[in-house]
Chain A
Amino acid sequence: MTPTPHPIAAIVPAAGESRRMGRPKPLLEFEGRPLIARVVSALLEGGARPVVVVSPPGDSPEGPPIARAAAEAGAAVLTPKTRPAEMRDSVEMAIEELKQLDSPPAAVALAPADGPGLDGALVVRLLNAWRENPERIVIPTAGGRRGHPVVIPWRFMNEIPSLPAGVGINALMAERAEDIIEIDVADEARIADLDTPEDLQRLRTGEGRQARTVRLFAVARERVGRSEITVELPEGATVADLRAALAEQFPPLAPIAARVMIAVDSEYADDAAVAPPGASLAVIPPVSGG
Chain B
Amino acid sequence: MVEITDKPLDYAALVERTRHNNAGAVCAFLGTVREMTGGRRTTALDYEAYPEMALKKMAELEDEARRRWPIIEAVIAHRVGRLDLGEISVVVVVSCPHRKEAFEACRWLMDTFKEVVPIWKRENWADGRVEWVHPGLPT
Stretch from B6-14, B100-108, B129-137 at the A interface: B129-137
B69 CB, nearest partner CB in chain A, Å: 20
Closest A residue to B58 by CB, please name it.
A289
A111 CB, nearest partner CB in chain B, Å: 29
Bound: A215/B52 CA distance, A: 12
Docked-complex contact A284 and B136, CB < 8 angstroms: no
Docked-complex contact A289 and B132, CB < 8 angstroms: no
Closest B residue to A259 by CB, please name it.
B137
Docked-complex contact A289 and B137, CB < 8 angstroms: no
Docked-complex contact A219 and B53, CB < 8 angstroms: no
Q: Which chain B residues (95-139) contact chain A, with CB distance < 8 Å?
A: 110, 113-122, 132-138
Q: Is A163 an interface residue (CB 8 A)?
A: no
Closest B residue to A261 by CB, please name it.
B118
With a CB–CB cut-off of 8 A, which chain A residues contact B121?
288-289
Interface bits A212-232 vs B (CB < 8 Å: 1, else 0): 000101110110000000000
Closest B residue to A221 by CB, please name it.
B48
Docked-complex contact B52 and A287, CB < 8 angstroms: no
Q: A217-B50, A263-B53, A282-B53 are in contact. Are A289 and B120 (CB under 8 A)?
A: yes
Chain A contact residue count (CB 8 A cutoff): 22
With a CB–CB cut-off of 8 A, which chain B residues contact A22?
none
A95 CB, nearest partner CB in chain B, Å: 27
Bound: A268/B113 CA distance, A: 14
Q: Is B44 an interface residue (CB 8 A)?
A: no
Q: Which of A218, A256, A287 contacts B117 (CB under 8 A)? A: A287
Q: Which of A219, A221, A260, A289 contacts B119 (CB under 8 A)? A: A289
Docked-complex contact A284 and B118, CB < 8 angstroms: yes
Q: Which of A266, A282, A288, A290 contacts B134 (CB under 8 A)? A: A288
Interface bits A249-290 vs B (CB < 8 Å: 1, else 0): 000000110011001001110000000000000101111111
Q: Is B31 an interface residue (CB 8 A)?
A: yes
Bound: A221/B118 CA distance, A: 14
Bound: A78/B19 CA distance, A: 78
Bound: A218/B31 CA distance, A: 20
Docked-complex contact A259 and B136, CB < 8 angstroms: yes
Docked-complex contact B90 and A218, CB < 8 angstroms: no
Docked-complex contact A217 and B118, CB < 8 angstroms: yes
Bound: A219/B137 CA distance, A: 10
Q: Which of A217, A219, A222, A287 contacts B116 (CB under 8 A)? A: A287
Docked-complex contact A290 and B90, CB < 8 angstroms: yes
Q: Which of A221, A255, A268, A288 contacts B138 (CB under 8 A)? A: A255
Q: Is B42 an interface residue (CB 8 A)?
A: no
Docked-complex contact B137 and A287, CB < 8 angstroms: no
Bound: A288/B120 CA distance, A: 5
Q: A217-B48, A218-B48, A266-B53 are in contact. Are A289 and B114 (CB under 8 A)?
A: yes
Given contacts A282-B118, A289-B54, A289-B120, 12 further A-B contacts (CB under 8 A): A217-B118, A219-B137, A255-B138, A266-B56, A285-B137, A286-B134, A287-B114, A288-B114, A288-B132, A290-B89, A290-B90, A290-B114
Can you give 22 contacting A-B residue pairs, CB < 8 Å? A215-B50, A217-B118, A218-B48, A218-B132, A222-B132, A256-B137, A259-B137, A259-B138, A263-B50, A263-B53, A266-B50, A266-B52, A282-B53, A285-B120, A285-B137, A286-B137, A288-B120, A289-B78, A289-B90, A290-B78, A290-B110, A290-B113
A residues apposed to B, CB below 8 Å: 215, 217-219, 221-222, 255-256, 259-260, 263, 266-268, 282, 284-290
Shortest Cβ-Cβ A-B pairs, 3 listed: A289-B119, A218-B120, A266-B53
